[in-house]
Amino acid sequence: MDLIYEIKLLNKNQIEDVINLEKKLLHKENAKEYILYEANENPVSYFYVACNKNTILGYIDFWITFDSATISTFAVDLPYQNNHVGTTLLKEMFKQLIRQNIKYVTLEVRTSNAQAINLYKKFNFKIETIKKNYYKDGEDAYYMVSEVDYVKNYFSN
């Protein structure tokens, strides 16, 4: 049976659940401060959640500045990975980028995160460089870039 969920902008009732997921999945020490800032104060933040009734399956937070965007945080809870939740969240982001005529979108991803890297490559993200010791634990990150126009025909519907 297919997983049923919808993609919505984050609302105040979901913030605590997203904070808990951010801590659980990404092990961010400052998860609460970060999510509260993104949800309530950051004027360039777009924060979408995938939800099934009252359960948050995953989320994406990206920033739009001028003609480019950056994925700030993106995660799908473990039980819902490989169910197209991440793909659907990225499609929703690209729809927003297309509506605003954004040219490029960037992100950083752990070099060890093959699953995420493969997903990003489906959206034409290409590795531009390696950021050495990017994460607190010393792991490197790939800096990846995608041209929004390249994926426009595939993800604008």
Domains of the chain: 6-155 (3.40.630.30)
pLDDT along the chain (157 residues), means of 10: 86 94 88 93 97 94 96 95 94 94 96 96 96 94 94 62
In sequence order, the 6+-apart residues with CB closer than 8 A to the CB of 92 are 7, 48, 60
Q: Which two tokens stand for residue 130?
A: 């390696």
Instruction: State residue 1's pLDDT score.
Output: 47
Q: What is the reported pLDDT for 62?
A: 98
Residue with structure tokens 């126009």?
Answer: 149
